[in-house]
Chains A and B, each alone.
Chain A
Amino acid sequence: MSTAEAPPVPRPARAGGAPPVRRGYVRPWLRLLRSELGLMFRRWRNRALLAVVVAIPILLGSALRVAVPQGGQNGGGNGLGAAFLTQVAGNGVFLAFLSLTIMLTLVLPLVVAVVSGESLAGEANTGTLRYLLAVPAGRARLLSVKYVAVVVFALAACLLVAASALIVGVALFPVGPVTLLSGTTVPLSEGLLRLLFVVLYVTAAMAMLGAIGLAISSLTEHPIAAIAAIMILAVSSEVADNIPQFAAVGPYLPSHWWLSFDSILRMPIDTTELSHGLLSFAVYIVIFGSIAWARFTSADITS
C-alpha cells in the first residue's frame, strides 16, 4: 500500500474554471456501460448465476450419457424435448439445443429476472440512485445503459449455456454432421451456425423479459419484490400458454414464442414462426421500455 502518491495533483474543487462540457454522447455512454457491466459481472451473486448456467448442461449431459447407451437411437415420445433427447444420443451438438430448451422455461428467465429486477430497484434500495442522478447520469441515459447491460448479461448467459453444452456434448457423445428435426442432414459447420442463431433468438426472448423486468424494477425500491414479480409473470405466462382454454390469447402471451426456435432446426427454416416470435418480442420491448421510460423519467427519487 503506497500511500505516498508522489506527483502533486491539481485540487479539483475550484470555482471559475472552464465550465464542464459534455464529451460527445457515445463515448461517455459507452464508458457508463462499461462501468455498469463491470459492476454486474463482478457481483458474486451474478457470478454464481452464471456458474449455475454453466453447470446445468454438464449435469444434463452426464445424466443422458448414463441413461442412453451410446449410439442407441431408442425412440422417445413425440414432444419437442423427446425429439431432442433422441438427437443428443446421436450427436453431441444437440445437447446445446436441449439445454437451451430446458433452461428457457425457468433458469434463464430467473437469471434475467435477477439482473433486470435489480437494475433500478437495487440502486434505489442502496440509495446510490440519487447519487447517480445528481452527477447527473441523465435518467433516459441511465435507463438505456441499464437495459443494454441486462441484454448483454442475458446474451452472456445464453452463450455460456451453449458453450458449456457443446463442450460436454463433444466430450460425451459422437459429433458429426447434424441431422435436423426435419430429417435433413447438414454439415457440422452449418449446425453450429444454426446453434448461433438459436442463441441469438433465445437472447431476444430474454431481452423481452428484461424489458418487462426493467419496467417492474422502476416501480419499486425493493429488488427482491421486483425479481419475484418478474418470475411470477414469466411462470404464469408459461402456465397459461399450456392451458387449452387460453388458446385464444396464447399467441399474445410473453412466453408463447420463446421455444419457436426449433424452426431454425428444420429445413427449410419456418420464417413465419420466427418472425412472429421476433415481432412479439419487439412489441413487448417497445411497450415495457416505454413504461419504464415514462415511469423512470418522471418519478420522484425519494430513496
Chain B
Amino acid sequence: MSAGLETSADKPAQDAPGLPGDPAQQGGTAQAAVVTHGLTKRFRSGQLAVDGLDMVVPRGSVYGFLGPNGSGKTTTIRMLLGLVFATSGSHELLSTAMPAGAARVLPRVGSLVEGPAFYTQLSGRANLARIDAVDATADPGTTDARVTAALERVGLLAAAKKRYRAYSLGMKQRLAIAASLLQPRELIILDEPTNGLDPQGTREVRALIREIATDGVTVLVSSHLLAEVEQICTHVGVMRTGRMVFQGTLEEMRARGAARVQVRTTEPVQAAEVLTKLGLADIQAVDGKVSAQIGDQGPEVVCRELVLAGVPVAGFDTPRPSLEDLFVELTGEGFDVDG
C-alpha cells in the first residue's frame, strides 16, 4: 500500500543511466519518462519474452517502440504498467520505481494496452465514467466535464450515448485513447493504437498523438509498422525477439545505415580501381553504375579522386538506405517470430 503520497514524486531522476542517443536534446532535462534496467520476463511456460531490456524514453519525446509481432513489446508495456511482474531487472516511470510506486505514478500515466477493452453493455460515456470511478485521484465533481472533454478530443461526442457493443473498431480504439486522456498526464503509453484501423483512422490517431505531444506530454507508442509512426516520432527503440536491437533518435537510426557512394560512368572498371585505392568496401558494378560503402571517406574526396584519375563521372550520388530497409534489417526479414 502506498503511504507517502507526495513525498518522493518530484525527486530528481537517479543518475539517468547512459542515454544511448541524445539525452539532453529534448528541452534540456536529462530526466527520462521511462527507464528500464535489464528488464527481463520469463513466463512460467519458460518462454523468454523480454531479455535484459535497457530502455530510455526521454521526457517530452515521442518514442516509437517498434518490433515485429511477438517481439516482446506488449509484455514490456505490461511490465512498465505493473500488470506483469518482471522476472529480473527494474524500471522507473517518471522517476518513480515501479511497481512499488504504482499508486503514486500511474495516475499521471495514460495507457492503451493491447487493444481496447470495455464493458460492452455500457455506452462510451458510461465506460469512461466507470474508468474514472476507479481512479482514487479523480474528482467526482468534474467527471462529467472531463469525460465530455475526452470524448470531444477523440471525436466521439456524437456517439457518447451509443453502446460500446455497437462501436466500430476505430471508435473503440478512439474510446481507449479517450480513457487515457481523462486526467492530465505526463506520459501516455499507447500499445498498437493504430492496429486494425483503416488508413484514415490511422491518420486520425497519428494526428491525435502529434497533438498530445505538442502539449509537452511524453508519448510511448508501439507499432509493428515503422511507416505508421515514422512521421511522428522523435526517438525509436527497436525490439527483436525480446531484445532491444536499436535505440536512439530517428536521425541516429538514419545515420546508422551505411551510406554508399554511387558513380554513374562509362568506365566502370577504372572507377572501381579508384574506389579500391581509396579503401572503400563492398564495391559493386552494375550496368554503368559502380557503388561502394563510403565509410569514413568524404564524398567530395571520392569525387575529386575519380575526376583526377580521369574517370568520366556522369553522375555522383551518396544514397542511404530507407528507414524501412534499416528496420527490416534490424528486425529480420520473414516470419522469424519466436514463440
B-binding residues in A (CB < 8 A)? 1, 3, 5, 7, 9-17, 19-23, 25, 28-29, 31-32, 34-35, 39, 42-44, 126-128, 130-138, 140-142, 298, 300-302
Contacts and interface: CB of A to CB of B under 8 A. Distances in A.
A22 B184 contact: no
User: What is the interface of chain A mostly: helix, strand, loop, or mixed?
Assistant: loop
User: What is the interface of chain B mostly: helix, strand, loop, or mixed?
Assistant: loop
B132 to A, nearest CB: 9
A23 B143 CA distance: 14
Given A12-B150, A28-B136, A140 B1 contact: yes
B327 interface: no
B134 A35 contact: yes
Nearest to A11: B149
B139 A14 contact: no
B157 A133 contact: no
14 contacts: A3-B158, A9-B146, A11-B149, A15-B186, A19-B9, A19-B10, A20-B137, A32-B133, A126-B119, A133-B83, A135-B106, A136-B82, A136-B135, A300-B78
Interface stretch (B108-116, B260-268, B270-278): B108-116
Interface residues of B, number: 66
A21 B130 contact: no
B131 A12 contact: no
Interface in B97-125: 102-103, 106-111, 113-115, 117-122
Contacts of A140: 1
A17 B158 CA distance: 29
Contacts of A301: 78, 83-84
B135 to A, nearest CB: 5
Given A31-B140, A127-B115, A136 B107 contact: yes
Nearest to B218: A15
A133 B82 contact: yes
Interface stretch (B175-183, B194-202, B281-289, B293-301): B175-183
B133 A302 contact: no
B222 to A, nearest CB: 15
Contacts of B311: none
A53 B102 CA distance: 41
Nearest to A125: B117
B9 A39 contact: no
Nearest to A8: B149
Nearest to B129: A35
B185 A15 contact: yes
B17 interface: no
Interface in B141-168: 145-146, 148-150, 152-153, 157-158, 161
A5 B157 contact: yes
A131 B107 contact: no
Contacts of A133: 81-83
Nearest to A142: B134
A28 B141 CA distance: 12
Contacts of B108: 19-20
A128 B150 contact: no
Contact of B120 (A17, A126, A132): A126
A3 B160 CA distance: 9
A138 B217 CA distance: 24
A12 B183 contact: yes
A134 B103 CA distance: 10
B314 interface: no
Contact of A14 (B2, B121, B216): B216
A1 B121 CA distance: 19
B137 A302 contact: no
Contacts of A13: 110, 153, 180-181, 183-185, 188, 212, 215, 217
B5 interface: yes
Nearest to A137: B134
Given A35-B130, A126-B119, A136-B107, A11 B153 contact: yes
